[in-house]
Structure 1
């Protein structure tokens, strides 16, 4: 593993002022004395007649100190001068020798600092441009492979539909065409696998180059001055596959082969994969730094929290027009969206005052969710549409679910994706959409091909990307990972378990309402039961909907009342 850069080291530790007996934060740096200074010592440094002309900068803008190397001709002197005429490093005494009379000299430390910055910049390019860009191209290949599989499967489905209507005439031709698609798919995937190998090799090469740059940057002598800048090979170019299309034939006894059609790769020039230009890195880096800062802030909060020994009631809301509060969503402004089993969806402020009311087709489902952008998204079962409500109360059609009836919905706090639980003709699935409404994933069956869901009526996402779903008809809490692979199922602690509202917290706990016992169960991230966190003994009559806000408060909606109660169980 490579050593952390100076900038990383500065971020990871508290910089102590270099003045004797001063333990304050050394946020400044004297390039002449080569030591960090606190604000007070910097001011004293400037006032001191002996040091008032020293260059003092912020610590992150400091010059790199020239490594100490003794002069071979004058062993008591350090080499710190560069003779521009002879192009060799010297000590100050060497510069007075006859062979250097009249020559021009440069400060060797200035040259070293420039060289160091240059190599650091090249190292930074690998870390911030070449590696992520190449990894992005590799991801692009994986997406193409997925698209190839989907397209080929779609083509095979179309072919089978035609074959079915003319089975007695076209069995032999259909078999040949299907085999052709498999060969074509294999060929395309082999091509993509070869491209993936190309980028694997290039990533390995970048790793070696990164190690080389790091080795040069960690030199403790002046060898760096005479090393030539290593050239980084350009990112290999690859081509995107030309996607096959299926040309359907016309039914005809005389021309069976033409009737069934054939799969062909269009005679089109492959499109080159787009490689992000270096100039675009600056904007990307700023965005990444902001995300890292937000991630660190969340991580810091997580590390300071733990389960409390007791659950404390914080406050209570009486929500108008929603007798039977079966689902709750808290938006970023801490305002509440609450719905009942009759389709009434209302928004209230912190005092419980009605802000807006919408009539929907929702009943006992978690059919609305607050987004990172401050919007609310809700499903319409009858119209099979998912709507978006903006803070200015504008309602727009967001996603059409086609033949599938959307029941539950959740907006990811990780990346803004939209998770939707759906049903159709006795089947059920969870579909992932991007925050712009593009379908990107369908989860329907486990590793053995068995149906995962029957009626996913409440849904949420955990901090590790797990998708957690309360299934009304299976009486089960079903959890899959972000790739859709089944992780575990939870069926309660008693003979009967009717899961309803579900949410997760900043520590990865899963909280689920059990209608059978009118309790709220607390599970760990791997589905292990920890405790009954709320029960009728604590004043919860019929818990149905739960959610967490940004302050780690738990909101509980109850059946048989319009009350939403807020609890604190993390400390």
Structure 2
């Protein structure tokens, strides 16, 4: 590195800093367009650093011995001068840099250990290059730190989401178990009540029989008493009086069986069979749903929303969007001349329709449970609020017949159509054109999507292409495959949380997955998955994929 700057230069810097309460901006942050106040001054690099950039400065082996001064507390005292001295030859100043060994060396080192090295330069010549390299390195490390912090923050959010989801699933398992337990308790109650009812009936029958037997017993006891008295009294008249009824009594006794009918109430059960049935009871299933981020995941059809209308033989859905309003999932489907809304809560679904002034092509989800819809026939954009029922808030007139629509930010929209002249327009909420973005080969952008990196992707069936451009109109990539992967009529576009692009190809009944840079990954959905004339596509907050087909919306999960 270069030697220590003259003391008067340092003192002049200190005088300037003391004269003004404002600290000079960090030299490294200034390269990134930031104005972070510098707190430390390096006497060798002649630069001001903030605390964060100073840490990076100290981590560099060739810079860690530099003298730094705290510009916040430094008074008029002059800093102690220091020289860049050789670590091996303590009395020698470092004046050279060996490019072969990437080491700062003194002249003694050069003559002894670096005689065979081919490229040796002076420190004064190398210092600007080293400084520039380190500034770039600090910028790179700063970006990596931000990237790692973002990943850690995202991971923390995912952990919190998993914990909350685990509790929700536990509650659901307990509810299912309680429902199954209620069935068993009800069956138990029915069996106990039947035992009580049958037992009570049989007991009443036996009590009635016992009562009749007790009455008959009293009659026989009286007859026995009278008969015995007549015999023992040896009264001829009484004996003949009783004798007349003896034969009749014997006939009555032999003609009727007084023995009660024997019956039992029993409970029969097969414990082994019961246990087998209980073991086969399915309270539910717990599985890992990876979502589309796992490129090996397989689609599973969860639900089909029927959008057909009575009296219509053909129903061509153009787009679909999903949002959650007050805990209710709201699925909005465009059917060219009407807007259909499906409300889903606790697996209960019902539908409501909203008629709009003209044909509807694409819907863009906005902030605050709102959406915007293109009405190209009347050159309008309609704004709709969901509460959760749809309400038309307003419409704005546009100079262009817009078809494609996307939300750029809270106050701006992206729109494109047949009069777009190979560009999409940035509009304000009043429909005014603020700027146009060139889209290359896409002459009439019909479907538009804004990616997480703020690049714009557009598709058009006629040119059979998907194009990604920056907001300045610079082409990022153009996806126009040939052969068996050639597009036939590209339409709806969406992106995953990881940045992968999902493109609907209407003619081949496919949904294609691409990387963020436009590289083919796989066909994630085909006609075998029930796709027929697919158009719009979107992902909800739970990672479910919605694809609008001819007369229905197919809802998929991936596992």
TM-score (norm 1): 0.45
Larger Rg: 2
